[in-house]
Amino acid sequence: MRSRTRAAAWLCPLVLTSLSGCAIGPDFVAPPAPDTSGYTPEHLTSTASASKFDGKSQTFVEDLDIPGQWWATFRSRRLNDLIETAMRQNPDLQAAQAGLRNARELAVAQRGFFFPQASAGYNTTAGKVGQDIASPLANNSVYYSLNTASLTIAYSPDVWGLNQRQVESQEAQAENQRFQLEAAYLSLTSNVVAAAIQEASLRGQIIATKRIIAIEQELLDLLRHQMELGQISNADVLAQEAALAQAQETLPPLDKQLAVQRDLLTALAGQLPQEEIAQKFDFASFHLPRDLPVTLPSKLVEHRPDVKAAEATLHAASAAIGVAEANRLPVLNLSAELGSSPANWGKFFAPPTLFYTLIGSAAAPIFDGGTLLHKQRAAEAAYQQADAQYRSTVITAFQNVADCLRAIQADARALKAAVYAETAAQKSLELTRQQLHLGQINNLTLLNAQQTYLQASITRVQAQANRYADTAALFQALGGGWWNRADVSAQASANDDLFGIK
């Protein structure tokens, strides 16, 4: 009796400790945001402007929030419809969603070890013993049957917080998967926008190329007529034919790129190439956003999915240190079994057939060749690795934003110059055509004017596309506004319910 009392006195503090929520190992604290106030040395206000082709100036607005559907700022119904389809059908996004559900279920499953584990068992035995062998029954019958039903309860008190740290690690991994999903959303929408802009660029280049081909064909007809009149030689006509052929030669590669781009958009929408999307994109289907958000640096680390995923990885690595430390300490196991083993069902609850077993055990590592110690050191090194990777991710995030801001500024200047160059080249070509009619210039001047105008037109289209693309890249670099999506709020509430958070 005294031994039982001493055992109870020894076990109670351990059980109370396990229920108090104490856990060895470091308690995770999220790294602070970098102490900086901007992304560039100078203060940004607005970009340059051009006279046409969506060349108006864009304004940088500090701490302007990003809508959940950031692509809607381009005011394109076709783009909105395509992204809606992609978010519903894209298999990569569905894979990320399934990965999040898997991680959350594993986290909830790990919480089950905080509670006693109960199991029930039943078995029946019938037999006959020989006449010379003692009967296993009290009535000495050689025929016997035995029905045994039992309830077993096992409990391992979380004395050192081992399971608490394991739950913490699983929940951090689930958080990592959550932001991996947000990164998949952002990557998918950004890829669709970028591909749509590239399609518009290719269509613009094809239009410009066809326009110059039509001009060169018109000039070729004129030169042939002048040759018939004896005003020019055949060499001039051949030179113009070569120029026309060169312009026509640039058209098939553009058609090829456009076809490939259509296949890409169809794949992003989660469809096979044969099921080509209905939406077609040109610059007329977009509107360039005038106000550009510049998130505060302190908020960027809260909004970038890759930064938040890296933070969750760091959190999991921190919890793993506690797991490694707890594995080096004693483990307490408690179990109880209650049951009945009657010879027939009528005596199932009769006191003589009842039995019970109480077992308490403790085990502690004494010698393991340094295995557990080195596992703990490995966990500490893994935390240091995750910390360095987190800091690298933050630096990359700031770099991405800075690169986009620089690119947008340069794009505006490039478009302004390209519009001016195209306008000048067009005027030069028109003047050259008039002089050619009057016989005031030679064919070389005409060829140069045609080539200059073609190159200027293509460059202007590319500059216009770059401005759209880098604007979309800025929204992506700033996190894409996922925190303002309605489905994220609903998922956050579901997540709180799942983890028992109030």
Residue-wise DSSP of 235-282: HHHHHHHHHHHHHHHTHHHHHHHHHHHHHHHHHHTT--GGG--S----
**Sorting pLDDT into bands at 50, 70 and 90, what band is 90?**
very high
pLDDT at 14: 45
Q: Where in the chain is the domain with CATH 1.20.1600.10?
A: 2-28+44-114+159-329+371-498
Q: Where in the chain is the domain with CATH 2.20.200.10?
A: 117-157+330-363
Q: What share of the chain is helix, strand, coil (3-state, %, to 5)?
A: 65, 10, 25
Residue 2 predicted with pLDDT over 60:
no
Residue 77 predicted with pLDDT over 90:
yes
What is the average per-residue pLDDT within 23-38?
Answer: 90
What is the average per-residue pLDDT within 169-183?
Answer: 96
**Sorting pLDDT into bands at 50, 70 and 90, what band is 9?**
very low
**Sorting pLDDT into bands at 50, 70 and 90, what band is 55?**
confident
| Exposed/middle/buried for residue 413 (C-beta within 10 Å: 0-12, 13-18, 19+) | middle
pLDDT at 231: 78
CATH of span 2-28+44-114+159-329+371-498: 1.20.1600.10
Name the most confidently modeled range: 21-25, 106-110, 220-224, 244-248: 106-110
CA distance 25 to 6: 30
pLDDT at 220: 86
pLDDT at 497: 54
**Sorting pLDDT into bands at 50, 70 and 90, what band is 345?**
confident
User: What is the H or E stretch that residue 316 is in?
Assistant: helix 305-326
Q: Return the SS3 of 416.
A: helix
Domain 117-157+330-363 in CATH 2.20.200.10? The answer is yes
Residue 457 predicted with pLDDT over 70:
yes
Asked whether the beta carbons of 372 and 365 are under 8 A apart, the reply is yes
Residue 211 predicted with pLDDT over 80:
yes
**Sorting pLDDT into bands at 50, 70 and 90, what band is 30?**
very high
Pairing verdict, β 291-294 and 59-62? parallel
Pairing verdict, β 331-340 and 291-294? unpaired
Percentage of the chain modeled with pLDDT above 90: 63
> 488 or 373: which carries more pLDDT confidence?
373
Q: Which tokens belong to 146?
A: 């035995």
Find the helix packing angle between 77-89 and 162-228, rounded to 10°.
140
User: What is the H or E stretch that residue 331 is in?
Assistant: strand 331-340
Q: Which tokens belong to 46?
A: 């607005």
pLDDT at 348: 75
What is the average per-residue pLDDT within 230-254?
Answer: 88
Residue 467 predicted with pLDDT over 60:
yes
Residue 13 predicted with pLDDT over 60:
no
Asked whether the beta carbons of 449 and 153 are under 8 A apart, the reply is no
Q: Which tokens belong to 85?
A: 């389809």
**Sorting pLDDT into bands at 50, 70 and 90, what band is 137?**
low
Compute how many other C-beta atoms are within 10 angstroms of the C-beta atom of residue 314.
24
Q: Return mean pLDDT, the chain.
A: 87
- Sequence-ordered list of residues with C-beta below 8 angstroms from that of 370, at least 6 positions apart, any chain: none
Long-range pairs, 499-502, Cβ under 8 A, ≥24: 499/107, 499/108, 499/171, 500/111
> 67 or 9: which carries more pLDDT confidence?
67
pLDDT at 248: 92
> 215 or 142: which carries more pLDDT confidence?
215
What is the average per-residue pLDDT within 273-290?
Answer: 94
- Sequence-ordered list of residues with C-beta below 8 angstroms from that of 146, at least 6 positions apart, any chain: 124, 125, 126, 136, 341, 342, 343
Using alpha carbons, list the distances in angstroms from residue 217 to 68, 224, 235, 390, 499. 50, 11, 16, 60, 71
> 48 or 219: which carries more pLDDT confidence?
48
Residue 416 predicted with pLDDT over 60:
yes
DSSP conformation class of 30: P
pLDDT at 132: 65
What is the average per-residue pLDDT within 346-354?
Answer: 80
What is the average per-residue pLDDT within 427-455?
Answer: 81
Asked whether the beta carbons of 64 and 474 are under 8 A apart, the reply is no
HSE, CB side, 13 Å, CA atoms: give it for residue 489. 5
**Sorting pLDDT into bands at 50, 70 and 90, what band is 135?**
low
Q: What does residue 237 show for φ and ψ, rounded to 5 degrees?
A: -65, -45
Angle at 258 between CA 255 and CA 260, to 5 degrees: 110
Pairing verdict, β 354-363 and 291-294? unpaired
**Sorting pLDDT into bands at 50, 70 and 90, what band is 222?**
confident
pLDDT at 4: 40
Residue 212 predicted with pLDDT over 50:
yes
- Sequence-ordered list of residues with C-beta below 8 angstroms from that of 435, at least 6 positions apart, any chain: 441, 445
pLDDT at 366: 92
What is the average per-residue pLDDT within 78-82?
Answer: 96
**Among the residues of 27-90, which ranges form H helices?**
77-89
pLDDT at 15: 46
**Sorting pLDDT into bands at 50, 70 and 90, what band is 414?**
very high
